[in-house]
Structure 1
Amino acid sequence: MLSDRRLFLLGLGSASLAASLSGCGGAGAMRAPGGIAGGPHTIQGGFPGIGFADWTDRQPEYLLYPSDEIEVATPTAAELTRTVRIGPDGRIALPLIGSVMAADRTLPQLQQDLAAAYASQLIRPVVEVTLRQAGPIRVWVDGEVRTPGVFEMVGDLDAYQAIIQAGGFAPTSRPDSVALIRRGPGGSRMMRVVDLRPRRGEVVALRRGDILFVPRSTLGELAAFFTQVRAAMPIGFSYSINGSNGNGYAQF
């Protein structure tokens, strides 16, 4: 199992590769409408193979995370009801069925998984899953900041405050062209470019699992960076499993 820090360092390695591939504003650079880099614009079609969805502020359905505390109730077999905390590997342990992947699933999805698992053990495998307490809320800050990493949100946190937690912008940064990547409805990934210049930029509230990427010169390096990690969307936890077995996917 990989730690958050090690996973994030792998992401930094991809970012370094992206920077070397892109140079200083090559042909891959994206510009917002009107020819001005940055601004609150959705990136559409500029990064082939990544497939960002249209931006929406609608809240996606809640996904379970490690450290979340849930109640797994079995009304037809009350003695099996348990309150459990999702482990760092994304799994929970339950009587009769053992270890089950819970992270990266909605509550209805987990209920279906558990009902199927209990089908061979119970005559009426009815399962009800309730979120009792959410675990830590984390965001990722990468690129041209002084101390990139994973940061826990304490209360409300906006994008500029997250940059401050990451040590502030590096001298080589483009604070007017910061990419915000977010999980959208249905597990899609969305991206928009925000202006976070002090006293001139936007106030953008962050959500759990958001990624802020601060480019060095143009968004061309961002395209290369996310080409490297297009199969992964960090959402605040780390577990490594075979994506082909239907149980999840590896995080970078």
Structure 2
Amino acid sequence: MKRLTLLALKLFLVVTLVSCGGVSDLPPIENERQFGEYLLGPGDEIRVTVFGQPELTGSYLVSDSGQVAVPLIAGIEASGVTADNLAERIAEELRSAEVVLEPSVSVEVRTYRPFFILGEVAGPGRYPYESDMTVLTAVAIAGGFTDRGRRDLFEITRARDGTTLQGQAGPEVRIQPGDVIRVLERYF
């Protein structure tokens, strides 16, 4: 009987150690304020306004290659810059191409790129981002947890400055456009 108890204890320890690996080895993802310094990326829809030039004003999509195609000027790199920086780039291109002598340009984000959620949720997939979303809000949008979904720790993959960050997050952490959230499986 003593031998059986010892074997059961060893089995319990192995299962516990296995269930602790993986995401717990990742660094934590902290809450970040993205607005004000939000960097554009593929999938964002922007509105470009060139004052006094209705034919140049319109909504544009940042392409998969990270560029925006504004009429009468070449594709402009938009990925990794703020809306204000992009407005300056567009104004400079319009000026240097002599399309508009003194352009006044503004850029605003109309629709943020989507977030992705996978793992133990009812409806994994791609969803539209809304400002100030938390991991828990994203899970709710994806139909909630499955019976096996872990509710206290999640894995987030985030692109920043041309690199990919991967970390762990709690349910209250705010997500950003383009984040990939993985809802882990619980073992008990």
Q: Same fold (TM over 0.5)?
A: yes
**Matches of 1:172 and 1:187 in 2, distance apart?**
34
- What does residue 150 of structure 2 align with? 174
Counterpart of 2:138 (choices 162, 172, 180) is 162
Counterpart of 2:90 (choices 114, 129, 140) is 114
TM alignment of 1:182-221, pairs within 5 A:
182=158, 190-196=165-171, 203-216=172-185
Which residue identity does 1:161 align to in structure 2? T
Count residues with an aligned counterpart: 165
**Matches of 1:142 and 1:119 in 2, distance apart?**
46
Matched, 1:83 2:57: yes
SS in 2 for 1:31: helix
Which residue identity does 2:154 align to in structure 1? V
Asked if the contact 2:56–2:70 (Cα under 8 Å) also holds between the matched residues in 1, the reply is no
Cα gap change, 1:94 to 1:101, in 2 (>3 Å): farther
SS in 2 for 1:134: strand
- What does residue 31 of structure 1 align with? 24
**Matches of 1:131 and 1:125 in 2, distance apart?**
19
- What does residue 140 of structure 1 align with? 116
SS in 2 for 1:93: coil
**Bigger strand share:** 2
Shift >6 Å, 4+ stretches: none
SS in 1 for 2:136: helix
Instruction: For CA contacts below 8 A with separation 6 or more, give which structure has more relative contact order.
Output: 1
- What does residue 125 of structure 2 align with? 149
Higher gyration radius (CA) = 2
TM-score normalised by L of structure 2: 0.60
Matched, 1:70 2:65: no
CA RMSD of aligned residues (A): 4.1
Asked if the contact 1:107–1:129 (Cα under 8 Å) also holds between the matched residues in 2, the reply is no
- What does residue 59 of structure 1 align with? 34
Asked if the contact 1:158–1:204 (Cα under 8 Å) also holds between the matched residues in 2, the reply is yes
Give 1:150 shift: 1.4
Counterpart of 2:71 (choices 86, 91, 94) is 94
Asked if the contact 1:116–1:125 (Cα under 8 Å) also holds between the matched residues in 2, the reply is no
**Matches of 1:56 and 1:159 in 2, distance apart?**
11
TM-score normalised by L of structure 1: 0.48
Asked if the contact 1:115–1:125 (Cα under 8 Å) also holds between the matched residues in 2, the reply is no
> Which sections of structure 2, spanning at least 5 residues, go unmatched?
1-16
Give 1:216 shift: 3.5
**Matches of 1:191 and 1:160 in 2, distance apart?**
18
